[in-house]
Amino acid sequence: MPYKLFDHTADLGVEVAGPSLEGIYNSAAEALFGILSDLSAVETKETLPRKIEGLDHEDLLINFLRELLSLWNRDHFLVKSCEVLEITPHNLTARLSGEFYNPLLHRIKREIKAVTYHQVSLVHTKRGWKGKFVLDV
C-alpha cells in the first residue's frame, strides 16, 4: 500500500513516502480515496485536468487534497490515480483519472469531513519525499 495510517486521537493520520514528489501526490490521492471507498472497484474511465496553487509545498499538498475531496462532494467523482505534469512549491498541474460514483458498483466506506492542516508536513529526505496529513472523519 502506498500509504500508512498513523495514530491520532480523534481522526485519521496518513503518511506517504516515495522517491519522487510526483509519486507522493499519487499516493496521497490514493490514500484519500482508498479511505473513502473501495478503490479496487473504481476504473479510470475519465480524466480531469486540475491546476492547484499553494503558499508552499505543504499548503499545496493540502489544497490538492481539498480539491480531491471537493470532486467527491460536488461531483461524486472517485479518483483512482493522479499524474503530476508540473510541480513547483507554489503550483501543481495534474491529471486525475477515475470515474463517477455508481451506487451499484462502488462502496463508500467512510465520510471524510475535511482535510486539515494539522501536523501537515512534506519534506525531502535522503531517501526521497515524506508527507503527512490528518483527515477529519
Partner 1 sequence: MGADEGPKQVANVACLPGIVKASLAMPDMHWGYGFPIGGVAAFDLEEGVISPGGVGYDINCGCRMMTTRLFLTDIRDRLKDLVAALFLQVPSGVGVGGSLKLAAKEVKQVLTGGSVWAVNHGFGEKEDIEMTEDGGVFPGADPEQVSDLAISRGKDQLGTLGSGNHFLEIEVVEEIFDQKTAAVFGLEKGQICVMIHSGSRGLGYQICDDYLAEMVKHAGDTGIELPDRQLACAKINSERGRRYFSAMACAANYAWANRQLLMHKTREAFQKALGISPRTLGMRLLYDICHNIAKIEKLPVDGKNVRLCVHRKGATRAYPAGHPVVPAVYRDVGQPVLIPGDMGTGSYVLVGSQAALTETFGSACHGAGRVMSRTQARKSSRGRSVTAEMAKQGVIVISSSRGTLQEEIPAAYKNLDDVVEVVHGAGLARKVAKLRALGCVKG
Tell me which of 41, 48, 85, 108 binds partner 1, using CB under 8 A: 108
| Of residues 22 and 98, the one with the C-beta less far from partner 1 | 98
Q: Which stretch binds partner 1 (CB under 8 A): 14-22, 26-34, 86-94, 106-114?
A: 106-114
Residues 1-60 close enough to bind partner 1 by CB under 8 A: 5-12, 55, 59
What 31-34 contacts at long range (C-beta under 8 Å, 24+ apart), as own/partner pairs, is 31/2, 31/3, 32/65, 32/68, 32/69, 32/79, 32/112, 32/115, 32/135, 33/68, 33/72, 33/78, 33/79, 33/80, 33/98, 34/1, 34/3
Residue ranges that bind partner 1, judged by CB under 8 A: 5-12, 55, 59, 63, 66, 70, 73-74, 108-111, 113-118, 120, 134, 136-137
